Amino acid sequence: MKMKLRVGFGFDAHRLVKNHKLILGGVEVKYSKGLLGHSDADVLCHSIADAILGAGGLNDIGYYFPDTDKKLKGISSLKILSKILQMISKKGYKIINIDSVIVCQEPKLNPYFNKMKENLAKILKIEKSAIGLKAKTTENLGFTGRREGIACYAVVLLQK
């Protein structure tokens, strides 16, 4: 049997605002601001979701989970990932690995990475060791450097 591999790339960014929780990888990160969005605004999950969808040859996250759908208001992005996993599984794909970079000046995220990996591994049915998480600053440059928002990039490898 011939192995079929597919690579997907995802990106997401959300604005940081007061009076919101900061959720990344399904983990509440202690910080004075949180991300603004229709769902829980989890940029890590959203970038992974788009990478998975792209690798599977599907539309982007907004197509399946539009911010105009009132039923999705405040939805956990882990639930979104679970539904996306079902979509690609139906097409015969499984996730081999994920690599992500979260871009923010603060807060420090390394202490939260283990729990984020646990959450993602459980939802996506992969080993924690198949998930790479990194945090980078922009040395105070751009919207992330000015602490106005957080961005995230993700790459996913699927196998059929």
Check which CATH number belongs to the domain holding 80 and give it. 3.30.1330.50
How much is the average pLDDT of 119-143? Answer: 98
Full domain range(s) for residue 97 = 5-159
Digit-coded pLDDT (tens) for 62-85: 999 999 999 999 899 999 999 999
Number of separate domains in the chain:
1
Residue 153 scores a pLDDT above 80: yes
Specify the residue for token string 């602490």: 147
Digit-coded pLDDT (tens) for 17-46: 999 999 999 999 999 999 999 999 999 999
Q: Residue 106 and residue 145: Cα distance in Å, rounded?
A: 8
Residue 32, burial from CB neighbour count under 10 angstroms (0-12, 13-18, 19+): exposed
